[in-house]
Amino acid sequence: MNGTVTVIDKGAVRIHSYMAPGDSLNVTTQLIETPARIVAVDAQYALAYADEVVAYAQGLGKPLDRLIITHAHPDHFHGAARFGVPVHAPAAVRDRIAAQGDGQDPAGTLIPVADMTPTVEIVPGTEVIDGVPFVFEDRQGGEAADELVIRLPEQGVLVAQDLVYHATHLFLGNNDIAGWAKAVDELAADPSYDTVLAGHGLPAGPEVFDAMRRYLADAAELLGDDGAAYKRAILERYPAWGGPFLIDIGNQYLFGATGA
């Protein structure tokens, strides 16, 4: 296996957190194993890694129930069709994905937009899936314009996805550091969750919120009008963190092609 799987036992629920290798941005897919089925969250960037996640899920011996897409960044929805199940997302996320049109896998494979567009709408609130309450929350601002957070209150699991990165450099292309910091503060304010699932990086505990606050404060301090200078400065402060290519991608959004 090329990716890394972390298994967290929560009694009636087991979490299988798949992190892609560094060449695919350490992006994560969460497999939430309930007593009789599996709910997948986010679908990988590279189709080969989506296939690896699906093969792992099939090895658990329970049917995949659905795939949930948390936000409209291609590294989280490119592989949606590979799961072979209904794709769920909030309406705003669905519409943003549809508006982007066809995609392209990092290996060059064309991905038709119909293969990536969710077909089942998620509305905020609680849905009981196989006896397990899932609480769905819409968030605006931060890493993406619209983002879904999923809480499993009985298991103390917060599926934060791209509102939280763990020891991985942040994509700042949405240009909303203040909104992101506010979202992190709001998530951290609820102490009842001891497991935080990140969109990039390995699963973490609540201590990840302080790390996010520090990084966002440093980014606000260092991010001027020179993307290359920002990259040098943030790498100097966080030399051990993964995903430096995420800085380059963010800089292209912030400063254009010359900003990396």
Q: Can you tell me the distance from the alpha carbon of 78 to that of 2, in angstroms, rounded to the nearest whole number?
A: 18
**Helix, strand, or coil (residue 194):** coil
pLDDT bin (cut points 50, 70, 90) of residue 177 is very high
Q: 100, exposed or middle or buried, with CB in 10 Å at 0-12, 13-18, 19+?
A: middle
211 and 240 Cβ atoms separated by less than 8 Å: no
Q: Which residue has the tokens 């800089």?
A: 251
pLDDT at 10 over 80: yes
Percent of the chain predicted with pLDDT > 90:
98
72-114 confidence digits (pLDDT tens): 999 999 999 999 999 999 999 999 999 999 999 999 999 999 9
182-241 confidence digits (pLDDT tens): 999 999 999 999 999 999 999 999 999 999 999 999 999 999 999 999 999 999 999 999
Q: Which domains does the chain have, with CATH numbers?
A: 4-259 (3.60.15.10)
